[in-house]
Structures are given as C-alpha cells and as structure tokens.
Amino acid sequence: MEADDELLVRSRVTPAAFEPLVERLGPAVHAYLARRAPYAADELLADVWLAALRVGARSIPTAVLPGPGSSG
C-alpha cells in the first residue's frame, strides 16, 4: 500500500492516484464530520477532498515528482 504522501505526489500527474486516499480515509473523515455537522457532512466531505486536491498539489515540491518519461 502506498503512503498518503506518495499518492499525493502521483495524483499531481495521474489524478486517478487520488482515489485510494478517498477510499482509505473517506469513511473516517465522513464520520468525524457527521459527528460535528450531521446535516452537512456529505457536502463538507466534498469540500475536504477538493481542498486536499488543490492544496496538496501545490504543496508538493516539484523535485520529488517523476521526470518526463519515467515510470514512477
């Protein structure tokens, strides 16, 4: 299983790499949100993932990204 940070790095180049993060962390994040805002948990969860994609992609140093033509 890839680490979360590795998936974030790959999702910058391959957006489908973000899916395992959603599958792995989604239930726990949704449960947390549902305890605090039961009527808004679904919408808040969508906001969480959108923010994670936006901020995560910007916060990953380009030096750790695979170069053109690499398989990683």
> Is there a domain that residue 46 lies in?
yes
Q: What is the mean pLDDT of residues 28-56?
A: 91
Instruction: Out of 12-26, 39-53, 54-68, pick the least confident.
Output: 54-68
**Which amino acid would we find at residue 7?**
L
* Confidence grade of residue 56 (pLDDT, cut at 50, 70, 90): low
Task: Tell me if 17 is assigned to some domain.
Answer: no
Q: What is the pTM of this model?
A: 0.68
Tens-digit pLDDT profile for residues 7-26: 877 887 888 888 998 999 99
Give the structural domain span for 46: 26-58
Give domain status of residue 31, yes or no. yes
Higher pLDDT, 60 or 41: 41
Position 60 pLDDT exceeds 80: no
Is 34 part of a structural domain of the chain? yes
Number of structural domains found in the chain: 1
